[in-house]
Amino acid sequence: MAAVMTVLVTIVMWMTALIGAIVILAGGVELISILSGTPISIGAIKIDDHDITLQELSAGLLGALVVVVAVIFVCLELRKILATLTAGDPFVPENAVRLTRIAIAIAVTQLLRYAIAIVVGLVVDGTRIQLSFDLIAWASVAALFILSQVFREGTRLRDEEKMTI
C-alpha cells in the first residue's frame, strides 16, 4: 500500500509542477506583454487582450507560485514519510518533524493567500477585500500538529521499550 501511495504522491507532485509551470509561464508572457505595452505573438497565438490589471496578474502569479511550491514541498515530505513506512519503521523522530513541516507549510500557504487578497484589495481600484476561511485547510493543520505529537510520543515510547530489559 505504501508503494501505491508513493506513486500517487509522485504523480500529484509532477502534475502540480507541470501545470504550475504552464500557468506561471503563460502568466509571465502576459506580464511581459502588459509591461512592454505591445502584443506578443508566439506562432499563431497573439497576446494583446489586457482585461486583467498588472496588479491582479502579479497577485495571481504569486498565488500560483505559492501553491505550487507548497504542494511540491508537501509531496516531497510525504514521500519521505512513505519511504520510512515502506522500510517498516514509520515511527522515527524525523517523521514527527516532517508532519510539523507539512502543517506549517499549509498554514503559511493559507496566511499568504490572505495577505495576497488584502494587498490586491488595497492596490486594485474597485476591488473589495474578500477573505474566506478554509475550514478544511485549518483543520488539516491542526490534525497534522496532533499527528506529529503522536509520532513524537510513539517514538519516545518505542525507544523506552527498547531500553527495558
Determine the average pLDDT of the residues in 85-112: 94
Residue 158: the pLDDT is 84
Residue 124's pLDDT is 75
Range of weakest confidence among 24-28, 117-121, 144-148: 117-121
* Rounded Cα–Cα distance for residues 114 and 109 (Å): 9
Grid cell at residue 23? 500557468
Q: DSSP assignment of the chain, as one string?
A: -HHHHHHHHHHHHHHHHHHHHHHHHHHHHHHHHHHHTS-EEETTEEE----S-HHHHHHHHHHHHHHHHHHHHHHHHHHHHHHHHHTT----HHHHHHHHHHHHHHHHHHHHHHHHHHHHHHHSTTPPP-----HHHHHHHHHHHHHHHHHHHHHHHHHHHHH--
Asked whether residue 38 carries a pLDDT value surpassing 80, the answer given is: no
Residue 40 — very low, low, confident or very high, per pLDDT cuts 50/70/90? confident
Backbone angles phi and psi of 43, in degrees to 5 = 65, -125
Does residue 50 carry a pLDDT above 80? no
